């Protein structure tokens, strides 16, 4: 579901990327993200998932709330939200979509 990928050598740092199996879980991932934001994000969501083309938000039906497009994982990107620490809101999260 996740693979560990080194993205920096000194100091060594890793990130976890979704495998093909993991990418198929994106509706589940989005549901968990929404649940976490609702119940634990007291300072606002740390990450926001946006439609790449127009910047709209992802609805519970996995559609864009701005342009109405049906969204798949490759259509969206993650940006830092108001609850992210040490990052500016709206800044891209490593260009990796929905790897939450």
**Site of interaction with Zn ion (CB under 5 A):** 51, 54, 56, 64, 66-67, 69
Distance CA 67, CA 56 (A): 7
Among candidate residues 29, 15, 78, the one with its CA nearest the CA of residue 51 = 78
**Which C-beta is closer to Zn ion: that of 22 or that of 33?**
33
Q: At residue 23, what are phi and psi to the nearest 5 degrees? A: -65, -30
CB 66 to Zn ion: min, Å: 5
**Which C-beta is closer to Zn ion: that of 47 or that of 50?**
50
**Which C-beta is closer to Zn ion: that of 55 or that of 83?**
55
């Amino acid at each position: 579901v996740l693979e560990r990928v080194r993205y920096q050598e000194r100091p060594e740092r890793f990130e976890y990327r979704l495998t093909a199996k993991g990418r198929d879980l994106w509706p589940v991932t989005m549901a968990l993200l929404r649940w976490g934001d609702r119940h634990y994000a007291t300072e606002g969501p740390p990450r926001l998932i946006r439609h790449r083309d127009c910047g709209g938000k992802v609805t519970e039906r996995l559609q864009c709330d701005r342009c109405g497009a049906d969204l798949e994982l490759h259509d969206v990107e993650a940006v830092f939200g108001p609850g992210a620490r040490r990052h500016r809101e709206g800044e891209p999260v490593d260009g990796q979509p929905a790897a939450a």
